[in-house]
Structure 1
């Protein structure tokens, strides 16, 4: 097994599954090393995509939400488009990353908290907040807010806006967001 170069594969004579396992460990260590380096440099945005590692090591890595997602929400509130996309194989932690649980809030809870705090701070403005929640599974787009609305089609209008026929929930607070999610 080659752990980040500590032993060379040719010396260990690793093959087959052991060689694959070693390669996966090296990849994880490399990703972890990049994140730790960027956090130690005080980076405000960390290009970081390994949700399983986020879930397993979130406390050790510090405030991953603040480093990765918060800047996207801040930009969104300034009028820019932002997308948070969870991608990975089955059981890689996507649902946990998005929904979380009672003791470890997921992205929906954290983004909603930040969004509604921003709205509360803007006393001179009015907002209409709506959201949709879709999944792409086996090349099929499913509406997760309306289980009867499956196989959605995506199209683009003349301005380049992406449109789809998913249900949009209008919400006034974080609790309403979370109620729609369950």
Structure 2
């Protein structure tokens, strides 16, 4: 069961265990937001805050992708910032959700295909695509493209841009992205 999106609780008619599960996911996401914000501010104490359930999605990645991720990538291709973030307890399915397997592509493959299809369709434009791949584990940020670059620090420049010294790889097709 995944949680995402906008104000549609009444449409899901979630009840019983699904509603309880959604409430627990919501609490976890609330804490995650605080962790990220307070880590970026260099704070060690992470407090809780209130939040509300907005949408429950089935376990099918197509549902998550079509409802939440595809519109996010569409906006990204129009110039907006976008982040796809997997959060959860150990063995809760984060890696499977992002990477998938041979028969069930994960969000990474689906987004990559959408991104490079968009680029291929835009014959009158040129694109430079760079990727980085990080992990936040036990309040440490690790660069997964450069094993020697661990314990990264989040900074903000004078324009308010968030900076992270993670390795960025230039990629021009899906295969190169996967090999990175």
Shift of 1:147: 1.2
Q: What is the DSSP-based 3-state SS (H/G/I as helix, E as strand, rest coil) of the residue aligned with 1:155?
A: strand
Q: Structure 1 residues 61 and 168 mapped into 2: Cα distance closer, same or farther (>3 Å)?
A: closer
Contact 2:132 2:168 (C-alpha < 8 Å) held by counterparts:
yes
Q: What is the DSSP-based 3-state SS (H/G/I as helix, E as strand, rest coil) of the residue aligned with 1:39?
A: helix
Shift of 1:107: 1.1
Contact 1:73 1:82 (C-alpha < 8 Å) held by counterparts:
yes
Contact 1:36 1:61 (C-alpha < 8 Å) held by counterparts:
no
Question: What is the Cα-based RMSD across aligned positions, in Å?
Answer: 11.9
Scaled by the length of structure 1, what TM-score is found?
0.66
Alpha-carbon separation, structure 2, partners of 1:171 and 1:100: 21
Alpha-carbon separation, structure 1, partners of 2:57 and 2:10: 31
Q: Deviation per CA, 1:115-140, whole angstroms, max 9, x where unpaired? A: 00000111000000001010110110
Scaled by the length of structure 2, what TM-score is found?
0.66
Quote the residue 1:35 is aligned against. Answer: 35
Quote the residue 1:105 is aligned against. Answer: 105
**Which consecutive aligned stretches of 4+ in structure 1 deviate over 4 angstroms post-superposition?**
1-62
Contact 1:2 1:26 (C-alpha < 8 Å) held by counterparts:
no
Q: Structure 1 residues 157 and 11 mapped into 2: Cα distance closer, same or farther (>3 Å)?
A: closer
User: Larger deviation: 43-52 or 24-33?
Assistant: 43-52
Shift of 1:63: 3.2
Q: What is the DSSP-based 3-state SS (H/G/I as helix, E as strand, rest coil) of the residue aligned with 2:65?
A: helix
Unaligned stretches of 5+ residues in structure 2: none
Contact 1:44 1:67 (C-alpha < 8 Å) held by counterparts:
no
- Structure number with the higher helix fraction is 1
Alpha-carbon separation, structure 2, partners of 1:45 and 1:118: 42
Larger radius of gyration: 1
Q: Structure 1 residues 80 and 45 mapped into 2: Cα distance closer, same or farther (>3 Å)?
A: farther
